[in-house]
Amino acid sequence: MDPDDDAVRNLRVAFDDALGQKPGVERVVEVRLPTTYGEFRAVGYLDHRSGIEQVALVHGDVAGELTLARMHSECLTGDAFASTHCECGDQLSAALRAIVAEGRGILVYLQGHEGRGIGLLAKLQAMKLQEGGLDTVEANIALGLPVDARDYGAAAEILRDLGVRSVRLMSNNPRKREALVRHGIPVAEQVPLLMPPRAENIRYLRAKRERLDHDLPHLDGITGLS
């Protein structure tokens, strides 16, 4: 990036701070991103409040109403390492495929959301506690950490910046929908993103359903996995 851009950004941050207005996300870069799923644009943002860098993957013309959208919480183990502890990696692939099949849509990859907001190392510690028998909620509590510390303000601002007026949200989490609505993004529909359970994650998925109210009706009647 041009060093002048940095200077302008710093000035703007200082100016906004002086006015008592916290600046939000700023669009920093936009680049073509061909993927094995199809062609995307990667739109990079800096969230001035948190200092976190965010990326939206955009396919087709996303401005307007009823845009198919996924607010994907970062999960290094699931998304990059294909861990089967959770279903994040499967959901990431399924969401990108669905967006390309639809011809337009957006995936915001939310950094800062790792481990439902507690961070990578704490998540690994929580996973270790789950090996010892705690469920995913009990594990966070045992660590003295919030069960869910995620914030969706930056996600909502990114959607607005891209001209999205309402979304069809790919998620099974009703609290994610409520959070987006609270941040001013109308959710016209919650589109289920149900992944087949595996022996390694059936207990985790049941805990999400029972303790975190995720809509996971496909778990009904599943036997033989644990």
Ligand X SMILES: Nc1nc2c(ncn2[C@@H]2O[C@H](COP(=O)(O)OP(=O)(O)OP(=O)(O)O)[C@@H](O)[C@H]2O)c(=O)[nH]1
Write out the catalytic residue numbers: 148, 150
Task: Report how far apart, in Å, the C-alpha atoms of 65 and of each of 157, 167, 190, 197, 217 are.
Answer: 16, 7, 14, 32, 28
Determine if residue 70 is labeled as part of a ligand binding site: yes
Local structure of residue 19 (DSSP, 8 states): T
Residue 164 binds Zn ion, judged by CB under 5 A: no
Look up residue 169 and give its two tokens: 């949200």
Tell me which of ligand X, Zn ion, none is bound by residue 114, counting a contact when its beta carbon lies within the kind-specific cut-off of 5 to 8 angstroms.
Answer: ligand X
**In this complex, which beta carbon is closest to ligand X, that of residue 28 or of residue 84?**
84
> Is there a binding annotation on residue 86?
yes
Which one of ligand X, Zn ion, none is in contact with 167 (Cβ closer than 5 to 8 A by kind)?
none
Please count the other Cβ atoms lying within 10 Å of the Cβ belonging to residue 157: 20
Residue 74 assigned to a binding site: yes
- Angle at CA of residue 60, ends 55 and 66, nearest 5°: 90
Please check if 183 is assigned to a binding site.
Answer: no
The residue type at 167: V
Burial of 167 (C-beta count, 10 Å sphere; 0-12/13-18/19+): buried
Residue (186 or 192) nearer to Zn ion, CB:
192
Residue closer to Zn ion, measured from CB, 46 or 88: 88
Smallest distance, Zn ion to C-beta of residue 83, A: 7
From the list 28, 32, 58, 31, the residue with the least C-alpha distance to 46 is 28
Tokens 């094995």 correspond to 36
Token pair in block for residue 73: 């919480």
User: Which residues of this chain interact with ligand X, rule CB under 6 A?
Assistant: 73-75, 85-86, 88, 91, 113-116, 118, 123, 126-127, 130, 136, 140, 171-173, 176, 193, 208, 214
Annotated binding-site residue numbers: 70-75, 86, 88, 91, 114-116, 136, 171, 176
Binding site for Zn ion (CB under 5 A): 75, 78, 86, 88
Annotated binding-site residue numbers for GTP: 70-74, 91, 114-116, 136, 171, 176
